[in-house]
Amino acid sequence: MSNTAAAAAASSSKSKAAGSSQAPEKRKPLFQKELQHMMYGFGDEQNPLPETVALVEDIVVEYVTDLTHKAQEIGTKRGRLLVDDFLYLIRKDLPKLNRCRELLAMQEELKQARKAFDVDEDKITSLD
């Protein structure tokens, strides 16, 4: 993200915050290092401006928060929140949906591998 694009987005973000009745809350940065690396990977400078990283973080946190609230609204009809609620919300964004499915499949594979490893380790210790 270029500095001018970041400045334009920051000004629109500030005007959006100014339009609301609440002052923007100060919170501890959560993903600054990770976002810096991601921004560099997508073509930004290796050390982007802190204001740019903070803006991108605000956008990410707002998106995740909104998505979680929407998923929670869907989940309350059933009484519990499920992964499928999130998949339902991103169903029209195919790259995101496919990436989420890929990560969920990978998580399941890792879980099975850990389980198999634990079983093998238990057999080895019981033989001793």
Q: In this structure, are 37 and 70 located in the same domain? A: yes
The answer as to whether 13 is a domain residue is no
Q: In this structure, are residues 55 and 6 in contact, taking their beta carbons and an 8 Å threshold?
A: yes
Q: Within this chain, do residues 87 and 40 fall inside the same structural domain, yes or no? A: yes
Whether residue 74 is found in the same domain as residue 100: no
On whether both 96 and 74 belong to a single domain, the answer is no
Which of the four pLDDT bands, split at 50, 70 and 90, describes residue 10?
very low
Structure tokens that stand for 22 in this block: 């609440």
Residue 18 domain flag: no
Average pLDDT over residues 65-90: 94
- What's the predicted TM-score (pTM) here? 0.67
Same domain, yes or no: 83 and 35:
yes
Residue 15 lies in a domain: no
The region of weakest confidence among 16-20, 87-91, 116-120, 124-128 is: 16-20
How many residues in total does the chain contain?
128
In a domain, 22, yes or no: no
Domain CATH code at residue 87: 1.10.20.10
Provide, rounded to the nearest whole percent, the portion of the chain with pLDDT above 70.
Answer: 73
What is the predicted pLDDT for the residue at 122? Answer: 67
Question: 88: burial class by Cβ within 10 Å (0-12, 13-18, 19+)?
Answer: middle
The pLDDT tens digits of the residues spanning 12-37 come to: 444 444 444 444 567 788 899 999 99
Mean pLDDT for the chain?
A: 83
Q: Domain containing 112: what range?
A: 92-127
Burial class (CB within 10 angstroms; exposed 0-12, middle 13-18, buried 19+) of 16: exposed
Residue 49 counted as domain residue: yes
The count of domains in the chain is 2
**Residue 7 has what pLDDT?**
45
Distance of CA 105 to the CA centre of its chain: 17
